[in-house]
């Protein structure tokens, strides 16, 4: 069947077209309405959100680290400053391949390949847009090496920064401490917003203890960045109101350290392991703070290489070890004046009561017979002479008469067995033995927890289990010098507000005084100590006589290795150096109105405390008490004069 032929109807077709065109127009209108609705949604309803997004898109916030406060000695001599240097910083989000970049930096010998795992962890730990330092304090040569290949390292930039600089190198290092790269542990205590641009933080010493004062407040600046994250000054006229908040520099610290004295003390200990702490008895100011050997804190600010770090930590002389507050030593005879005063306080002897010393001591129930350091004996000794000659027998006897708990109770008033409270971290408390202490120390082994009478006798001459830190020792001597008045030792004397320039003096902190029923007992102890340095029978007289001021002192020898004394004498020369006794000396001066108290410890010294440590103590006193001219003259005299001859057959250990 043929299909019906459809005739073209022009009028109907026009109508059809118009209907379709109208429908299209309606659909078009709906489409436009949809677009307008969407535009209203984006530009009106969600306007605030998108404004935020676009701000975030173009403004990058960059932290500005504050300048770290300076550390100055008591006279304003700079000990820690800031020096401009260049460091290499890496921004993770701009680095195409982090591992590969680090490997190539290692190839250029800018970083140590062995440090890469640590660095990677550090970089991953920070925000992607934070610039993380990978190499501090570039040398000129390193700078040039990197600059030549810079284009190969997108995301790694040379940034000028102020870094910590210690102009005097190793001097006072244990007191000042040092700064180093912020570690994971540091991050737990630091406010990361404040430290976003900071690379270094105090690790030890004053740098750590006063971190809050030294660091200051971070500033920030908003930077206009383009889509690649690059900083742009202006783009078209699309400048923004960029906010800049200036950082507030950290405050400057004035230490109590007198660099002149410090230097003399350091020189005196040169080549020895040992420590010197000098304190002003009138306020607790630490005048000198030496732990020898020392190390260069600039290494840490510069970023240690692995090899340098290993060299430092594995040095048998332990230069990083702060002997002044962390080292514990048997005080030896240096604590005898304290026991003498305890004996007077408890009334077990009178000052003038004599005791006959025949070179050995024994008592029923007190174990083996004890030898005096001088087997010839000191004959009849009263208290003053007992101190001056350091008669062991006398002190064995008064120890027996007092008993350990009374001895400990009296000495604890001088701060032994407890922290001195010095204003840097890491202080150890040593051991002030008592029956109570022993019970606590050996609570896991009841058999050893019993106090034996013999223990008391050893403690009576500062041996046995007794241990003190040099800081505690110096503090106790300062307490004697101040006749019982005690000040907490401190390293920071004043804080200078960098904004206002105002110097805020920190008041000395007085500690509970030593209570004595009769002030006269101080006179006895001090008289004994004066005799040590001045009386013909004084143990240290040959080495320190002739001071222009009146000096009081006490020598000590601390056993490192116990051998029978006769055998020790024979073997002294043969003993390995690190097994030799420590030489100790404590002193203060001038006796009439003491200005300085000092404790000197020379580890494994070739000779005893009087012979070896007392001249060092005297030099420190000289440096502090004499004018620079007088001191220079004194030093010249010392160099020309032959070393004082030791008394004939002088036994070691007094």
Question: Do the Cβ atoms of 652 and 575 come closer than 8 Å?
Answer: no
CB of 197 to other proteins, least distance (A): 24
- Decide: helix, strand or coil at residue 172: coil
Report the nearest approach of other proteins to the CB of residue 240 (Å). Answer: 7
How far is 138 from 374, CA to CA, in rounded Å?
Answer: 60
- Given a contact cutoff of 8 angstroms between Cβ atoms, the answer to whether 310 and 652 are in contact is no
Can residue 54 be called a binding residue for other proteins (CB under 8 A)?
A: yes
Backbone angles phi, psi at 526, to 5 degrees: -65, -40
The yes or no reply on residue 25 touching other proteins (CB under 8 A) is: yes
Q: Pull the structure tokens for residue 59.
A: 């403004």
- Whole-number Cα distances in Å, 168 to 75, 107, 203, 270, 623: 15, 34, 18, 15, 19
Characterise 252 by phi-psi region: left (phi > 0), alpha (psi -120 to 50), beta (else): beta
Residue 233 or 505 with smaller CB distance to other proteins: 233
Among 98, 225, 429, 572, binds other proteins (CB under 8 A): 225
Comparing C-alpha atoms, which of 45, 153, 160, 175 is closest to residue 470? 175
Per CB under 8 A, does 573 bind other proteins? no
Choose between 4 and 316: whose C-beta lies nearer to other proteins: 4
Interface pick for other proteins out of 2, 26, 34, 448 (rule CB under 8 A): 34
Please state the closest distance from residue 127 (CB atom) to other proteins, in A. Answer: 17
Q: What is d(CA 89, CA 303) in angstroms, rounded to the nearest whole number?
A: 13
21 binds other proteins (CB under 8 A): yes
- Tokens for 220? 């920030």
E strand or H helix at 344: helix 336-345
Residue 36 near other proteins by CB under 8 A: yes
Q: Which is nearer to other proteins, 158 or 224 (CB)?
A: 224
Is residue 227 close enough to count as binding other proteins by CB under 8 A?
A: yes
- Per CB under 8 A, which region of 181-189, 204-212, 226-234, 646-654 contacts other proteins? 226-234
User: What string of DSSP letters covers 201-247?
Assistant: EE-SHHHHHTHHHHH-B-EEEEEEB-TTS-B-S--TT------EE--
Site for other proteins in 91-150 (CB under 8 A): none
From the CB of 8, what's the least distance to other proteins, in Å? 5
30 touches other proteins by CB under 8 A: no
* 412 classed as catalytic: no
Measured from the CB atom, is 12 or 517 closer to other proteins?
12
Residue 1 in the binding site for other proteins (CB under 8 A):
no
Options 42, 147, 242, 647; binder of other proteins; rule CB under 8 A: 42
**From CA 585, how far away is CA 591, in angstroms rounded?**
16
Among residues 171, 172, 292, 333, which one is catalytic?
Answer: 333
Alpha-carbon gap, residue 620 to 624, rounded angstroms: 6
Question: Which is nearer to other proteins, 18 or 502 (by Cβ)?
Answer: 18
Closer to other proteins at the Cβ: 25 or 144?
Answer: 25
Going residue by residue from 239 to 278, which x/- string records binding to other proteins, judged by CB under 8 A? -x--------------------------------------
- DSSP calls for 264-303: HHHHHTTTS-EEEEEE-TTT-BEEEEEEES---THHHHH-
Q: How many residues bind other proteins (CB under 8 A)?
A: 48
Just list the catalytic residues: 333
Question: Which parts of this chain interact with other proteins (CB under 8 A)?
Answer: 6-10, 12-14, 16-21, 24-25, 28, 31-32, 34-36, 38-40, 42-44, 46-47, 49-51, 53-54, 57-58, 224-228, 232, 235-238, 240
């Amino acid at each position: 069947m043929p299909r019906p032929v459809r005739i073209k109807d022009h009028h109907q077709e026009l109508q059809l077209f118009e209907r379709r065109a109208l429908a299209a127009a309606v659909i078009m209108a709906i489409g436009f309405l949809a677009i307008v609705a969407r535009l209203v949604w984006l530009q009106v309803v969600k306007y605030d959100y998108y404004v935020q997004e676009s701000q975030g898109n173009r403004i990058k916030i960059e932290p500005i680290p504050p300048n770290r406060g300076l550390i100055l000695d008591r006279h304003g001599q700079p000990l820690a400053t800031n020096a401009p240097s260049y460091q290499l910083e890496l921004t993770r989000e701009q680095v195409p391949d982090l591992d590969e970049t680090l490997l190539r930096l290692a190839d250029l010998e800018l970083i140590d390949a062995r440090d890469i795992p640590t660095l990677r962890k550090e970089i991953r730990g920070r925000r992607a847009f934070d610039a993380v330092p990978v190499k501090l304090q570039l040398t000129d040569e390193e700078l040039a090496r990197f600059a030549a290949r810079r284009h190969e390292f997108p995301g790694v930039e040379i940034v000028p920064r102020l870094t910590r600089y210690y102009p005097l190198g190793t001097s006072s290092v244990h007191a000042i401490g040092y700064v180093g790269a912020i570690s994971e542990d540091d991050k737990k205590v630091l406010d990361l917003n404040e430290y976003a641009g900071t690379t270094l933080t105090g690790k030890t010493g004053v740098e750590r203890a006063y971190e809050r004062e030294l660091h200051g407040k971070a500033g920030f600046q908003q930077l206009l960045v383009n889509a690649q994250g690059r900083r742009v000054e202006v783009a078209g006229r699309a400048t923004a109101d960029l906010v800049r908040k200036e950082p507030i520099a950290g405050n400057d610290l004035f230490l109590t350290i007198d660099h002149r004295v410090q230097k003399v003390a350091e020189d005196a200990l040169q080549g020895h392991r040992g420590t010197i702490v000098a304190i002003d008895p009138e306020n607790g100011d630490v005048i000198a703070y030496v732990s020898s050997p020392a190390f260069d804190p600039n290494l840490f600010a510069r970023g240690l290489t692995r090899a340098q770090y290993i060299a430092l930590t594995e040095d048998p002389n332990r230069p990083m070890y702060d002997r002044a507050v962390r080292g514990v030593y048997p005080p030896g005879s240096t604590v005898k004046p304290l026991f003498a005063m305890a004996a007077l306080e408890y009334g077990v002897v009178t000052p003038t009561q004599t005791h006959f010393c025949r070179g050995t001591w024994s008592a029923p129930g007190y174990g083996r017979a004890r030898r005096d350091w001088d087997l010839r004996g000191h004959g009849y000794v009263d208290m003053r002479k007992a101190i001056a000659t350091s008669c062991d027998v006398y002190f064995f006897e008064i120890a027996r008469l007092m008993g350990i708990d009374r001895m400990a109770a009296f000495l604890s008033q001088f701060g032994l067995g407890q922290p001195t409270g010095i204003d840097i971290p890491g202080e150890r408390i040593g051991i002030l033995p008592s029956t109570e202490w022993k019970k606590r120390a050996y609570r896991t082994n009841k058999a050893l927890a019993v106090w034996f009478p013999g223990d008391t006798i050893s403690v009576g001459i500062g041996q046995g289990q007794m241990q003190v830190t040099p800081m505690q020792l110096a503090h106790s001597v300062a307490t004697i010098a101040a006749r019982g008045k005690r000040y907490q030792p401190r390293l920071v004397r004043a804080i200078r507000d960098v904004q206002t320039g105002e110097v805020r003096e920190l008041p000395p902190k007085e500690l509970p005084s030593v209570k004595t029923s009769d002030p006269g007992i101080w006179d006895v102890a001090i008289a004994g100590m004066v005799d040590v340095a001045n009386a013909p029978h004084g143990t240290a007289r040959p080495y320190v006589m002739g001071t222009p001021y009146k000096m009081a002192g006490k020598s000590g020898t601390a056993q490192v290795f116990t051998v029978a004394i006769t055998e020790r004498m024979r073997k002294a020369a043969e003993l390995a150096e690190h097994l030799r006794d420590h030489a100790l000396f404590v002193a203060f001066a001038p006796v009439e109105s003491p200005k300085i108290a000092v404790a000197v410890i020379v580890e494994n010294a070739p000779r005893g405390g009087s012979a070896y440590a007392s001249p060092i103590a005297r030099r420190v006193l000289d440096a502090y008490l004499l004018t620079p001219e007088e001191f220079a003259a004194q030093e010249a005299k010392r160099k020309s004069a032959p070393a004082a001859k030791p008394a004939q057959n002088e036994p070691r250990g007094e």
